[in-house]
Amino acid sequence: MRPWPGTPYPLGATYDGVGTNFALFSEVAERVELCLFDDEGKEERYALEEVDGFVHHGYLLNVGPGRRYGFRVHGPYDPKRGLRCNPNKLLIDPYAKAVSHGVKWDESLFGYKFDNPDERNDDDSAGRVPYSLVANPFFDWGNDRQPKRPYNETVIYEAHVKGMTVNHPFVPEPLQGTYAGLAHPAVMEHLQKLGVTAVELLPVHQFVTDHGLAEKGLTNYWGYNTIGYFAPHDAYAAMPGEGGQVQEFKGMVKAFHEAGIEVILDVVYNHTAEGNHLGPTLSMRGIDNEAYYRLVEGEPEYYMDYTGTGNSLNVRNPHTLQLIMDSLRYWVTEMHVDGFRFDLASALAREFYDVDRLSTFFDLVQQDPIVSQVKLIAEPWDVGPGGYQVGNFPPLWTEWNGQFRDTVRDFWRGEPSTLGEFASRITGSSDLYQDDGRRPFASINFVTAHDGFTLRDLVSYNEKHNEANGEDGRDGADDNRSWNCGVEGETDDPEVQGLRVRQQRNMLATLMLSQGIPMILHGDEFGRTQQGNNNVYCQDSELSWMDWELAKDNADLVKFTGGLGAFRHRHPVFRRRRFFQGGPVGKGEKLGDIAWFTPAGEEMTEQNWDDGFGKAVVVFLNGKAIPDLDQRGMKVEDDSFLLAFNAHYEDIDAQLPGNGYGQAWTVVVDTATGEVEPADAKPIEGGGQFTLPARSLIVLQRTETEPE
């Protein structure tokens, strides 16, 4: 059977109900063969003779969903010139919408083993490299609608597909650790109780466990080692049949949307699983190495590495940019996801050497009518020179605010002289985002994330304990800004245990009541521990999975977190769309939108901000001075609140501000007791005395309608 000419676009394998069009870009290829495989692995090869704009294409009748395929690219092989074509290697389609299995490691995958590919004609990589799969594009979305939750109303929950459900007691065993398991009603109910509006999933693009980890018996658990930018990772699928992961993923997204929860994907467009010059040839390296990867100028045998993983995608090449943009659009239009978090996003801005906020990638995103309308979150750093770019991304973007994380950790562990920066971080980091026209929700606030300690470990360990990773403690961050509360690791000491729980509540409350978008790490709401390991990227085990028994043991912490989520959603003063101005905000206004006080009830002075003690502060938030309109064009108003922070190790005798700020106040959040809106709280008179307990945050709500 000879392929029909087909079309050069769309790239990849596209099934139309009758047959499948295949299209592959390669500027260096002299000839491209499409390889089809049956269930026994028997191979049929078809030359794609039509070439338009360096896209090799053809159409085959009666080839449909589930069919295994790959490509063989004939062309120059000269690594010292950056050319690595080798027809003895079966290659994954960069546009494959489903992939059959993981890599089965073998020497035939590594080009450096054999300088002359012609010597390997008797041994290729078919079966060791995953098969690409023709995917079924048809799915009954019913009345699915993307929630399109406004940024300022968003609460993000960072989760791992497998780790979230592999031990869940109410998820049926066949569904544990899968997309279908994540869509289980028990999981949805838990997230809704926390007030979560979006899940941010660690990588679900098809990824590979590195050869080095496989040799150690470890796994690339996090998934930051992508080999397929269109394919949902096959190992997370419960549905039988090759290609079923596409349908299952869509079903998961549909279930989240029915629950009013958005789905954000953590995506890795900065590098691939093919690694450095000693890495395996799996896909793009053998298709068009120069087009897809940044090569070292003058030494094209080697790869530029801004990611610490061996290579960096060549975002200067239009075909590579097309791959990224086509992938993003596909996940929005066909898979209905609601946004993306870009891993090491600074690497995508390196058109030449330095990070360039006006790079072509950002221009393409800005003008794209589909991608520009979903949530875009940058991890604003990479490992290259000048890669730390917090606050420097374009206006369309939000950013993981690493400065929020560091400052909040320092404040609650009692570091001196953090008060001024702490005040800036909890009010939306205007110093980072206001100058270029962005809003407080440009800041994705987090205290913990997948990379680093869990919240419980943050208050239980001074040092990382990564022995299980087999790298003699060389891996993982050393600057954790953690405090073990007096004892390293687990302890039976009730005083230490109580302090640790309070510290967890302090950081959760600070996170949920700060301006910006809060992001909770999965399991922090019930004290998940990794036993001090701050880099579980290779630990697909009980060490990294969620232990749902802890949700019972620490039910009070779950309730407290959920209470904070509900409290935040009820009160728009904690999720403003505009930065504070500091002074009176309207004609006739007596009070400003925000004011800062010492624990003695006196307004803060420059000397107070510079005080080396710097462990306590009170902030007034004026709910009558929110410069926002609701969907009906009505002015947004709320009650007014005082937030009293005390990171000192002793109680402080405090005084509420007078001068018209409020006649009476009621405690609505107390991290010392773990209560949110307690029923028996008694009002305190304005200007009255109260005790601010050691290492605690107290939130007071003004109880009268108007101040005097």
Cα-based angle 300, 302, 307 (whole degrees, multiple of 5): 125
Q: What is the CA radius of gyration of the chain?
A: 27
What is the tens place of the pLDDT at every residue in 649-708? 999 999 999 878 999 999 999 999 999 999 888 899 999 999 999 999 999 999 974 444
pLDDT of residue 634: 85
| Domains defined along the chain, listed by start | 12-134 (2.60.40.10), 580-703 (2.60.40.1180)
SS3 call for 333: helix
Active site residue 343: yes
In contact, 101 and 113? CB cutoff 8 Å:
no
Please state, in angstroms and rounded to a whole number, the distance separating the CA atoms of residues 404 and 398.
Answer: 14
Q: Which residue of the set 266, 379, 410, 638 is catalytic?
A: 379
Please state, in angstroms and rounded to a whole number, the distance separating the CA atoms of residues 442 and 376.
Answer: 10
**From residue 96, how far is each of 140, 174, 358, 380, 565 by CA, in Å?**
21, 26, 30, 29, 39
SS3 call for 235: helix
In contact, 567 and 677? CB cutoff 8 Å:
yes
What is the tens place of the pLDDT at every residue in 215-263? 999 999 999 999 999 999 999 999 867 889 999 999 999 999 999 999 9
Residues facing residue 646 across a β-bridge: 616, 696
Q: Specify the length of the chain in residues.
A: 708
Q: Can you list the residues of the chain whose pLDDT is less than 70? A: 111-124, 240, 350-358, 583-589, 705-708
- As given in the structure block, the two tokens for residue 338 are 């609601």
pLDDT of residue 111: 60
Those residues with Cβ within 8 angstroms of residue 517's Cβ, 6 or more apart along the chain or in another chain = 151, 152, 154, 155, 156, 398, 441, 443, 444, 445
| Dihedral, CA of residue 61, residue 62, residue 68 and residue 74, to nearest 10 | -20
Please state, in angstroms and rounded to a whole number, the distance separating the CA atoms of residues 135 and 10.
Answer: 14
Please state, in angstroms and rounded to a whole number, the distance separating the CA atoms of residues 517 and 495.
Answer: 33
pLDDT of residue 706: 47
**What does the H/E/C string look like for 390-451?**
CCCCCCCCEEECHHHHHHHHHHHCCCCCCHHHHHHHHCCCHHHHCCCCCCHHHEEECCCCCC
Residues facing residue 159 across a β-bridge: 201
pLDDT of residue 584: 61
Q: Which residue of the set 33, 266, 343, 525 is catalytic?
A: 343
Active site residue 189: no
pTM of the predicted structure, to 2 decimals: 0.95
